[in-house]
Each structure stands twice: as structure tokens, then as C-alpha cells.
Amino acid sequence: MNKYLVIALVTLGLVSCATKDEQYYRSHPKELQQALKACPSQQAQGLNCNQLQQLGERMNTLAYQLQSSPQGFGSKILSLQEHIAKQELELKEKASPEAETSLAKKRHELAEYLAVVKWLESPES
């Protein structure tokens, strides 16, 4: 039992010290807000203030889209999921670097959309 507790604490320690890159801030909008507030006085790990600002603007644009048209935003998510599923099937049949790049881009875009939904629409725990 104690082994599992130690392993869990070590894992949490490693995760908390991980570099906070653009992907981290895309999936954690609240952390992005805090980093933007502290940016002039405290430099964020891995990103400069200008990069954080651009990422914040992108997340704000997505948040505005969600608030102005939740159904339209949801349909974009569904459309992205359909494209991802089709591209995964195509990759199983015939692998190509362009298709893999496109699939990765779609997955990142879907992750952004879902992060905004989680941030604004899910209940706080």
C-alpha cells in the first residue's frame, strides 16, 4: 500500500514540474489566464509574453464563438471528429506524411475546442 502512495506522489511531483508549453496552456485555459496576468513580472515556462498573448487571443475567440452560438460550436466539434475518424481510416489503408500531419493538426484543433467547452461549460468540481 505504501509503495503505491509513494509512486503516486512521485508521479504528481514529476507532472507538476513539467514544462508548460503551448499545448499545456491550450488544454488548461485557467492556467493561461494566470500566466497572462503574471506575465510582465514573472516569465512563463517555455513561452514568452507575446506567445502567451497570441494563444490567449485564440482561446478568447473560441470562447466568444461558443458563447455566441453553442450549437454552431458543437457542430464544429462533431465535424472535426468526423474528419479525424475518416483520416484515421485513410491512414490505415494508405499511410502518407501529409495525412499524418493533417490528422495531427485536426487533433490539436479538436483539443482546443474541447478545452474551451470544458473551461466554460462544465461544472466546477
Residue 14 has pLDDT above 60, yes or no: no
Owning domain of residue 78: 2-121
- pLDDT at residue 5, as a whole number: 46
Residue 65 has pLDDT above 90, yes or no: yes
Residue 11 has pLDDT above 70, yes or no: no
Which cell goes with 68?
A: 455566441
Phi, psi of 5 (to 5 degrees): -65, -45
13 or 94: whose pLDDT is higher? 94
- pLDDT at residue 99, as a whole number: 83
Give the chain's domain count: 1
Residue 8 has pLDDT above 80, yes or no: no
Q: Are 91 and 99 in contact (CB under 8 A)?
A: yes
pLDDT in tens, 67-104: 999 999 999 999 999 999 999 998 888 888 888 888 99
Query: Among 100, 78, 101, which residue's Cα sits nearest to residue 90?
Result: 100
13 or 66: whose pLDDT is higher? 66
What would the mean pLDDT of 11-21 be, rounded to a whole number?
A: 57
